[in-house]
Amino acid sequence: MRATWIILGVAVATGPLGGCAMHGGMGGMHGGAAGHSGAPPGAVEAEAETPALRVSLLVPEAMVGQAVTMTVRVRSATLGDPVSGAEVVVMVRQADAPDGTALRAEETTQRGVYQASHRFASTGPYEVAAEVRADDDPAQRVVVTVRTVVARGERHGTGVPTAAAVAGLAMIVMMGGMVASGTGF
Q: Where are the domains of the chain?
A: 37-156
| Secondary structure (3-state) at 128 | strand
Distance CA 84, CA 64 (A): 32
What confidence score (pLDDT) does residue 183 get? 59
pTM of the model: 0.62
Q: How far apart are the first and last CA of the chain?
A: 15
**Residue 81 near residue 73, CB atoms below 8 Å:** no
Q: What is the pLDDT along the chain (185 residues), one digit of tens a residue?
A: 444 434 434 343 444 443 333 333 333 333 333 334 567 788 899 999 999 999 999 999 999 999 999 999 999 999 999 999 999 999 999 998 889 999 999 999 999 999 999 999 899 999 999 999 988 777 688 999 999 999 886 554 444 444 444 455 455 555 555 556 665 55
What confidence score (pLDDT) does residue 42 get? 82
**Residue 90 near residue 68, CB atoms below 8 Å:** no
Rg (CA), the chain: 23
CATH of domain 37-156: 2.60.40.10
The DSSP bridge pattern shows strands 87-94 and 44-49 to be unpaired
| Whole-number Cα distances in Å, 126 to 27, 35, 76, 123, 159 | 24, 21, 28, 9, 24
